[in-house]
């Protein structure tokens, strides 16, 4: 009985852990998110509920976000910025192959 419970619990935990949506993004320039500056390079993007996590190796930055829908699909994943005090603040991420864009908390579209 205990083994069966543990296996069921482990399977449920794996399903919950895999519920986060994951993407890869490339930052082509120094990018600020939630006050942290990220160097150019390839990063892992995770979306879980309203939490956005961008990570590379041990570096990890979290923020909240909202999703907006576009009229048509984006052909590739791209990053949009807003210039704030001479730094490029990550504003939104347009997900390639979808019509969704991720708007990072604290930024506004149309800037």
Q: Name the domain count of the chain.
A: 1
Q: Which residues of the chain have pLDDT under 50?
A: 17, 109-111
Cα 61 to Cα 39: distance, rounded to the nearest angstrom: 12
Tell whether 14 is covered by a domain. Answer: no
Angle subtended at Cα 73 by Cα 39 and Cα 20, rounded to the nearest 5 degrees:
55
What is the span of the domain harbouring residue 55?
A: 20-104
Specify the 3-state DSSP secondary structure of 53.
Answer: strand
Tell whether 52 is covered by a domain. Answer: yes
Q: What are the tens digits of pLDDT across the range 92-111?
A: 999 999 999 999 987 554 43
Tell whether 57 is covered by a domain. Answer: yes
Tell whether 58 is covered by a domain. Answer: yes
Per-residue model confidence (pLDDT) at position 109 = 45
Q: What are the phi and psi torsion angles at 12 (to 5°)?
A: -65, -40
Tell whether 109 is covered by a domain. Answer: no
* pTM for this predicted structure: 0.75
Cα 56 to Cα 51: distance, rounded to the nearest angstrom: 17
């Amino acid at each position: 009985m205990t083994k069966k419970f543990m296996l069921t619990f482990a399977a449920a935990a794996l399903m919950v852990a895999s519920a986060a949506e994951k993407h890869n993004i490339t930052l082509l320039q120094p990018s600020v998110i939630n006050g942290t500056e990220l160097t150019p390079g390839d990063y892992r993007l995770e979306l879980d509920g309203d939490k956005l996590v961008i990570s590379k190796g041990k570096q990890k930055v979290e923020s909240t976000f909202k999703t907006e829908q576009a009229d048509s699909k984006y052909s590739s994943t791209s990053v949009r910025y807003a210039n704030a005090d001479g730094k490029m603040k990550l504003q939104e991420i347009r997900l390639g192959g979808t019509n969704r864009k991720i708007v990072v908390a604290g930024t506004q579209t149309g800037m």
